[in-house]
Amino acid sequence: MVRTRLMGPLSWGWVKWPSVMGTGVLYLLLLSTCLGQDTEDWQYEECKLSRSGPPATIVAIDEESPNGTLLVENMQINGVAEGPDRTISLSLRDNRDYWVILDPSKQALYLNSTGRLLDRDPPSYIQSIVVQVQCTNELIGTVILHEVRIVVRDRNDNAPRFQQPRYYVAVSELTPVGTTIFSGFWGNNGAADIDDGPNGQIEYTIQYNPKDPTANRTFDIPLTLFGSMVLRERLNYEEITRYLVIIQANDRAPYPSERRTATTTLTVDVLDGDDLGPMFLPCTLVGNTRDCSPITYKANVLELTEPNKVNPLNVTPPIQAVDQDRNIQPPSERPGILYSILIGKPQTYAEYFSLNRTTAELLLLRPIDRELYRRFDLVIKAEQNNGHPLPAFANLQIEVLDENNQAPYFLETSYHGYVSEASPVGTTIATSGSLSAPLAIVALDNDVEETKDPQLQFSLDSYSNVFSVSATGIRRYITLLQPLDRETQDFYTFTLLASDGVQQSFPVTVTITVLDANDNTPTFANVSYNVNLFTDMMPGETVLQLSAVDSDAGPNGQVTYRILAGAQEHFIIGNSTGIISVAPGVDLAVGRSYALTVEAMDNGPAPQRRSSITTVYIEVLPPNNQSPPRFPLQQYNLEISEAMRTGATLLNLQAVDRERDTITYKIHSGDPHGHFALKENSGTLVLDKPLDRESLDYYTLVVTASDGQPDGTSTAMVNIMVMDVNDNDPLFISSLTVNLTVTEEQDNAFVGQVKATDPDLGSSGQVHYRLVNHQKLFSINATGAIRTTVPLDREVKGHYFLIVEAWDGSVDPRRSRLTLSVTVLDVDDNIPVFTQQTYNVNLPENSPKDSVILQLKAIDADLDSNLTYRIRSEGLDPEITRLFRVDPGTGELSVLKVLDYEALKDSEPTYMFTVEALDREGTMPPGLASVTVTIIDMNDFPPVFSQSAYRGMVAPNAVKGTIVTTVTANDSDPAGTPAGLVRYKVDQDAYPYSASIFDVDEHTGHVVTRVNLNEEPNLKFNLVVVAYDDGEPLKENTTLVEITVLQPSVIPVFTQEEYRFAPVSEEADVGTPVGVIVAAAVNQTIVYSIIEGNEGGVFALNETTGVISTAKPLDYEANSSYVLRVEANSMRVVSSNLRVPSKTNTAKVMIDIQDENDHPPVFTTSLYIGGVAEDAKTFTSVLQVQALDQDTGNYSSMIYRLIIPPQPGKDTKKSKDGFVIEPYSGVVKTAIMYRNMRRSYFKFEVVATDNYGQGHSTKAEIVVSVVNQLDMQVVVSNVPPTYVEKNKNKLLSILERYVQDQIPGAKVVVETIGPNRHGDGMEQEDYTKSDLMIYAIDPLTNRAVSRQELYKFLDGKLLDINKEFQPFLPPGGRILEIRTPDVVTSVKKAMQTVGYTEGALLALAVIIIICCVPAILIVIITYRQFKERQAECAKTARIQMALPTGKPGGGTANNLYEELGDNAMRGYGQQETQQLLRPSLLRPEELSMESGIDPGQDYYTQDYYNYEHGYELPQYGSRRKLISPAGLYDEYGEVVVDDDGSYYYSPQESDAEHGCRKHRIKLVTDREYETSSTGEDSLPEPQRSRLSSTVNSHANVNGSIYMAQNGSIIRTRRSVNATLPTHPHATTNNNLKLASPVFSSRLAKHFKKLDKMAATLEERVPLNNPRTAADGGCNTLRTFQSSGVAASATATSSLSNTDNNKTLNVFNTRQSSVSLGSTSTSNTGPESAASKSNLLKAAQGGAEQQPQSTAETGELREDERESRVDGGDEDDDDGLVMREPLECPSDRTQSDEEELWMGPWNNLHIPMTKL
């Protein structure tokens, strides 16, 4: 700040007379001019808003609105902005990014979005636009800013986006329906929508997936906002292992058509669970189901075999079971399989066999004698070792074999092998032509296990010298004993037999094909050939045909010819035909000779090809006729079928004769039987006789061709192969028997052997067999062996005719059939079977002895069975054999004794036993049947009445249903049986009229009236009642009932139909009378009785007096009232043991019980736990106790009181209880403050007394723990606070239960319920959401559970808590998060940032000072005196114009403005730099222009104090009324503390009052706001520390500024003697007591509430202040002074001041003083500069007249230091100081009750006004 000296009233020592006179004249001229002008108030209305309401204009537009969108149609600002009559000018300020366009003429605002988009969403984040419409009043020059806030509304322009492309979850198939299986969309992992509000809220739904139609019905998302997917249907891994669920995320835009969506795929893998049991292998499925067909395992064991030789037994197939749940993960959790034998027959199986529990190996326990057991049928069980309840079962059949009675057998019916002819000796025959795998021959012997070598001997019927079979092993292999030649024999067929030394297998056919190898070289018939040619040979004519023979097959035997040399291009050869011919265009010349080298090569693989050569010598001769005919080929090969017809042409042999002579053809040799004929002239070879391949299959014919000339004959060879045709039927060998037998019940039993032969070759000669009928019972293999496929049952069919068909293997096979007779031999394999499995017999009692009651019949299907019958003795009751007998031969069941039903013990005697039918000569177990014999009661006794006759009386007017009397009959037959059930009826025939009037109840025997009686008295009615039973046969008995109609006079009549007595106390003693009932009758003694309502015998009735009294103690809480039905009868009736009910002799008695206070109160719990916050106000509700009382009325009305033990070490009289309780409601409230008491607790008792404190009492304990927000958590939910408040108790109980899971007995307490706070400073409130602040108290420690633990307890169970919250919240309601309270978060942030802020501010201040000092010095030096005086004159004129009418005696203005910065106000009481602008007499328009405060507007008067921040001061441009001061104080005064501790205010005196009695105003404070003797407790901890440090470190500070609640300012200062320049060493005294460290804080505390403080008792007493001579005895006004150096330094500080650094400047505002406002750093006008220059010169002029040394200046600063400025060091003594002038003119007085007021505060930093 600029440090200047403000001159007070000018003294003669400081200012020259001419200057004073000039200034005064100018002042008077300006004042007269200003007073003469008319004031135009309408000019000040310009630029104001013409509308009412809030000053700020708020509009809303949608994002992405087009360019030019109208924002504000009319700002409604007074004035004309354009045209000649313009009064205002409009412009925009703070128009960031130029989003707004202003049309001044229309006062309209438009959106400017050219080339861009107004996007509210990221990354733009344009949520609002704030601009200032600046209005300049052209008439008076004021400026008013109008704020326009444009809120950008969200549009649904963004679709949700999933954070992942796909999602995955694995779920066990055992997961229960309703379980949440996927919560992966929680937090930031799901879909996000950057839109705001509902447009950005996500809902999740499941969509139909055509690729997986079952997904949407298997899963569901019930809570669409959470997105958690739950299981709707049970999973089954065996059916579906994966689901593809399409999840759609859509926003919640208000209109469904505008909602945007996104989809993703959630892959749900179903994990296999243990829901299926094991299954036996192999499994054959039944149809399309997943069920396996029943499986039967088979095993054989040789009789009398020792177990150690055969264990484990060979089972076919091996016993094995697997768990159907094969993919349980991890594999370590897969259960194992346990095997066991469940049941079996014969029952002694357990003595011979056992099954290994884990490996399922079948073990023989001891040798078996086949004479005792031939087969065991067992049921084996496989179950999991984890106790799974679904075992699997299979059958196991074990055959006991005779020793070595099983023949070996081959697994295959035939074998086919391959071997190359090039294979060396020892080569193994292969199973295929690729020779990759050996041919394995497997023969087994059932006498030996399949896994062991049966040690069989193999034999070959032929070719044993060529092949051999390996000697050992289960698998045998055929090897080569000698080399093979395919050209000699290309296949071998032989039969193979296997023998165990006793038994021999059926033979199998083995065919071995020899594969060709390229082991033959093409061979020419001659080594060389000689050919003579003649010159007349034409080109292309055949010279010679060569033929090379290669015996190999296939490509290895195909020969290719070529001429290697000698041809001289005159001859060519066909590469496949071997024909040498003359080359085209060649003329042979006589005498030429040629030697052709010809090669013949086969077509085998290139490395293996073979070749040979020959030489053809050719000589060319002249033409002649001496050449013989020549065949084109030297050898012909021909294949013909044996079935070819005779006369068929086989071959055309055409020889060529060069001379064209006649050629004659003949067969020279090779056809001894004349089967062929060669036509002599044509050379055609024909078949002359039929062929038979089976007789001869190959012919070699030598044919000749002759032209009749000598040496004119040539020969050729014709090879004829006769091919086989299927012309022979298979023939069965007749020597084999056709009558066969087989034993029943044997599987794969050998039945017999057939054999057929066929002489044809190849497949036509291979014989196959099949069964024409009974194919399901029998089978035949390739060798003709017939076996059973299933065990035969002779009892089903004993004989079969089996047709066997043999056919060859040709395409059109030839067949033959043979019929076999198969007889099934019987074995004892059937148990006897009864015709009924259960027999039920009803045996009437008393049946004669030996009576046959049942005929048993059993049938044995086996032959020659001999059955015998008997009662099974196992588990038989011995009594059965004494009562019943079965005839062994006939099966008749008879009873051995006479049975009496009534004598038997049981109520329903039944005998159950089992009978057997056994084959005496058989080995099978007996057949069983169950027999149940029930003994039937035969109704031995009739009902018998208890009396022979009954009498009854009835009133003549008895109503229908009146009970007259009761009859009783008993039956001696057993109770509960039909014979013992007695019922009643009226004999209608005996007395018909009586039967029409009276009736009897069928079951109870009550004789009742059937109608309303109207009979004459003394009449008698007779009624016959029949008692009967339901026995067999039915029996009955009768009795007579005599009914008399009484006289009405003998029937008593009650005086009242209903009696109601006074209530009876529940504490009444037994025998206490309740009331009296009275009935009357003529000449009759009356007897009273209670007939209804006295259950439990609570009351007693005196039968003679009618007094009802208590018979038992009463209890109101058990029964509060009774209704009795009483009856009065005459003694005559009673003596007859009769009663006559009627309307008159019965009455109702009402008895009420009076409640008494007999139950004490009972608290709902013995211990109440609550909590109270440290900052809780007095009488804050903590908890509510409740005691219940079973009594009613006042007896259940409670009065509560507290018993609080005194705190140890404190005076009980002075100590104050910490809590109070509302006596009727039980609400416990706070009574004190609990600051700094966190983690402490209070333990006391509560007493509840019923009957409003006059009755019984009960105690309970209360524990209240002191907490603060460090112990709390905030539960944020997406529902309004009203919902949470409505269901607070239910929601709290849910949270409490989850906390109690971790801390038993913990109590969860609600601190607050309010709207959701959010934003950077948590200052924004969202009422669509709620914050529930809670904490928990541990009952063991009585202290709050730590905030971190409470978070863990709740956050970890958030999903479960949300599920339980659903019934109490609206749809979609849920907890969003659990977070830390705002205060805790802000404290953490402040702790992290405080260090950085202080350093940054210090660095910034240093930089500003260094940069600005040179500039400020230059400006100050360049100002001129003329400018300064001109500015002074202008300022003086404006002051005079702005002065309003003042108070009498005062000449100052009525509007005083006091402005202080925001930080100075909010940091009041702290050691912070403050800036005070003393009220300046400014024109309103100037003040408005600089400060933004409109002086003409009616502002709202209100206080701005709140408990959080102190004073909330009006913002810039806000409408606040400037309250005029009630009294005018134009200088600061002093507040002093007298010796008696009172506070006094003393205004500063004028020069005229110097030496006069000083004014003092006593300050009266309200003590109720003082809570401690020191005054420190009322301030926050930082303020107390700062105040103390401030006072201590600045004990010499002249004064401080204090603020009252309404903004009034009080300044304190010490009295310091005036020190003139000429007296630098003058001493000073202070009549103000130096404040203690708490003085300032106490003073600040008292002045916070100004309406509680008044200035009273104005005193004019001396202040005991010794004056110096220079002082003049007067306390004068002090003014600022400083040296020139200080002035320049402080000016720099003023220009660089910021909001955080305010300097206190005090100026005098009396009429004679010069007012000076603070100069804005932005104001660089010459007028302002002149003012500052003028002031500086005045200060420097004073310094020149009174020169001072540097030391003197230092002393002056030390004595006159006022306050610390800008938080500088203590060595900076160039601060502002106040000096007292020599004169103090004052013409005003102070009233006694004048209010202290120094003007309102404002948080604006008002710049110094231009003066």
Q: Find the range with the poorest average confidence among 1057-1061, 1526-1530, 1735-1739, 1806-1810.
A: 1806-1810
Confidence of residue 260 (pLDDT cuts 50, 70, 90): very high
More confident call, 1472 vs 281: 281
Is 832:928 a contact under the CB 8 Å cutoff? no
pLDDT tens-digit map of 1016-1073: 888 889 999 999 998 878 889 999 999 988 877 778 888 888 899 999 999 999 999 9
Crossing angle of the two packed helices 1347-1355 and 1288-1300, in degrees rounded to 10:
100
DSSP 742-793: EETT-TT-EEEE--EE--S-HHHH-EEEEESS-TTTEEE-TT-EEEESS---
Instruction: Decide if pLDDT at 817 tops 80.
Output: yes
Q: Tell me the CA distances in angstroms from 1326 to 227, 1317, 1330, 1362, 1605, one per residue in order.
A: 24, 6, 8, 21, 32
Helix (H) or strand (E) holding 384: strand 375-384
Instruction: Decide if pLDDT at 1789 tops 80.
Output: no
Strands 296-302 and 392-401, bridge-based pairing: parallel
| Average pLDDT of span 41-49 | 83
Q: What radius of gyration do the chain's Cα atoms show?
A: 67
pLDDT tens-digit map of 1483-1492: 333 333 333 3
pLDDT tens-digit map of 566-624: 988 899 999 999 999 999 988 888 888 999 999 999 999 988 899 999 999 999 887 76
pLDDT tens-digit map of 707-745: 888 778 889 999 999 988 888 889 998 888 889 999 888
More confident call, 1677 vs 946: 946
> Among residues 340, 338, 342, 341, which one has the least CA distance to residue 358?
338
pLDDT of residue 1559: 56
pLDDT tens-digit map of 1582-1611: 443 333 333 333 333 344 444 443 444 444
Q: For 61, list phi and psi in degrees, rounded to 5.
A: -135, 160
Is residue 254 reached through a cis peptide bond, with omega within 30 degrees of 0 on the bond before it?
no
pLDDT of residue 1392: 59
Q: Find the range with the poorest average confidence among 487-501, 975-989, 1568-1582.
A: 1568-1582
User: Can you list the alpha helix ranges (DSSP code H) found in 258-330?
Assistant: 307-310
pLDDT of residue 728: 87
Instruction: Decide if pLDDT at 1727 tops 50.
Output: no
- For residue 31, the SS3 value is helix
pLDDT of residue 1428: 67
Confidence of residue 1441 (pLDDT cuts 50, 70, 90): low
> What percent of the chain clears pLDDT 70, i.e. is strictly above it?
74
Look at the alpha carbons of 421, 425, 428, 434 in this order and tell me if their dihedral is positive or negative: negative
pTM of the full predicted structure?
Answer: 0.35
DSSP 695: T
More confident call, 441 vs 1718: 441
pLDDT of residue 1525: 37
| Average pLDDT of span 1115-1120 | 89
Instruction: Decide if pLDDT at 7 tops 70.
Output: no
Helix (H) or strand (E) holding 717: strand 713-723
**What are the beta bridge partners of residue 919?**
867
Confidence of residue 445 (pLDDT cuts 50, 70, 90): confident
pLDDT of residue 661: 81
User: Can you list the alpha helix ranges (DSSP code H) found in 420-540?
Assistant: none
Is 957:1142 a contact under the CB 8 Å cutoff? yes
Q: Find the range with the poorest average confidence among 65-79, 672-686, 1615-1629.
A: 1615-1629
Residue type, 1099: F
Q: Find the range with the poorest average confidence among 119-133, 295-309, 687-701, 1575-1589.
A: 1575-1589
> Among residues 574, 577, 519, which one has the least CA distance to residue 547?
577
> Among residues 940, 941, 939, which one has the least CA distance to residue 1031?
939
> What percent of the chain clears pLDDT 90, i.e. is strictly above it?
34
More confident call, 1562 vs 303: 303
Confidence of residue 1434 (pLDDT cuts 50, 70, 90): low
- For residue 1146, the SS3 value is strand
pLDDT of residue 189: 85
Confidence of residue 1395 (pLDDT cuts 50, 70, 90): low
Give the separation between CA 83 and CA 105, rounded to whole angstroms: 9
| Average pLDDT of span 144-173 | 90
Structure tokens at 904: 């038997």
Is 1430:1726 a contact under the CB 8 Å cutoff? no
Strands 337-345 and 1036-1045, bridge-based pairing: unpaired
Instruction: Decide if pLDDT at 1758 tops 90.
Output: no
* Mean confidence (pLDDT) of the chain: 77
pLDDT of residue 1481: 34
Give the separation between CA 650 and CA 703, rounded to whole angstroms: 14
Instruction: Decide if pLDDT at 1739 tops 60.
Output: no
pLDDT of residue 1072: 93
Instruction: Decide if pLDDT at 892 tops 80.
Output: yes
> Among residues 1137, 949, 937, 965, which one has the least CA distance to residue 1037?
949
**What are the beta bridge partners of residue 599?**
562, 613
> Among residues 1323, 1343, 1342, which one has the least CA distance to residue 1268?
1343
